[in-house]
A = this chain, B = another copy of it.
Amino acid sequence: MAIRLKELAQHLGLSQTTVSRALNGYPEVSMRTRSRVAEAAAHYDYHPNSNAQNLAKGRSGSIGIVFQPERKMLLEPLFADYLAGVAETTALHDLAITLSTPSSDREEEAYRRAAAALQVDGLLLSSPKVEDKRLRILAETNIPFILHGRTVASAPYAFLDIDNEGAFFAATKLLIDLGHRRIALLNAEIDYTFACHREAGFRRAVGGVSDPTMKAWSLEGQMTDEYGYRNALACLQAPRRPTAFVCASTLMVPGVMRAAREFGLQIGRDLALIAHDDRISQLRPDYFDPPLSTTQSSIRDAGRRVAEMLIARIGGAAIEDLQEIWTPELVVRGSTPPPLQKD
């Protein structure tokens, strides 16, 4: 049986109140008492009961994530890392996660219920579509939430996003500056806001080229090996094929490489490729051959941060102070040579 605050206090010859205060870092406790308490807590391996703590503090001690695997499916390698990041933060703050998995037709209800039942102190939303009804639903309630990504919404909301437009502009610009004039964007499904932003960045870069030979492709599909292969293949079959690819995810790259190989082409020699790298575990861009040039931003860090932001929001921080846009870093490795002479 684990030790309780009461017993710990008895051992110390102090009141529960004082011990609690010492443990929670309240300023009015003397240094001496504080260290005695800390020592005893460690010695008896005391851990506060979270339920009691949460009850007393009037919060639930859990944050909610609504997810539907049938909808997200092959973004799942990303989801797992994102979730890992979230879990790191929640563990630090002794929060639990309440996952709900409504069937697609009950999604609205799930959000309403979460809000009504107050089973959670706040919600984390991800993978927003350009038009995302979830925001409207949550705006009606006043449950704190953070959106990982952005969307169109009338009311302001708290979010963490990366500068997808800028990143894909930079990536495309890199290729253009190297001399490429036939560039293909292998994008994610375009109803996701991030894909839409990426398309915009790509278009802006391409649009800035006055060269009349400039040609651009833009294909969309799931961020998987398979769609990387398919869409790259589709481009490469064109009579004047692209000399460079901009890829929505490193997850697609093996597929793109295979497609290239089928045409006797090699990334890093005959073709340039730059991909967005979410820094997921076990898919390191420098392990590819050639090492991939990327725009990088850790989705796990984002998960960590988004959970911190939610905690802040729950604590009363203003929406305006909880709107972050991270700038992915452009990392040039071996996969982006200039175009071949003959091309």
Contact = CB atoms under 8 A, between A and B. Distances in A.
A91 B80 contact: no
Interface of A: 2, 45, 47, 49-52, 54-55, 60-62, 67-70, 72-74, 76-77, 79-81, 83-84, 86-88, 90-91, 94, 96-101, 116-119, 224-226, 229, 254-255, 258, 280-283, 300
Nearest to A88: B101
Given A45-B116, A87-B100, A282 B70 contact: yes
Main secondary structure of the interface of A (DSSP, over half): helix
A116 B3 CA distance: 11
Please give the count of copies of this chain that the complex contains.
Answer: 2
A131 to B, nearest CB: 22
A98 B97 contact: yes
B118 A2 contact: yes
Given A47-B119, A69-B300, A73-B80, 17 more contacts: A47-B116, A47-B117, A49-B55, A51-B54, A55-B55, A67-B87, A72-B80, A73-B280, A76-B79, A86-B99, A91-B100, A96-B96, A97-B97, A97-B98, A225-B225, A225-B226, A229-B258
Nearest to A261: B262
A278 to B, nearest CB: 12
Residue from the set A47, A96, A224, A229 with the largest chain B CB neighbour count within 10 Å? A96
B281 A73 contact: yes
Contact of A99 (B76, B81, B97, B225): B97
A51 B61 contact: yes
A69 B47 contact: no
Contacts of A258: 229, 258
Nearest to A224: B225
Nearest to A72: B282
Contacts of A91: 98-101
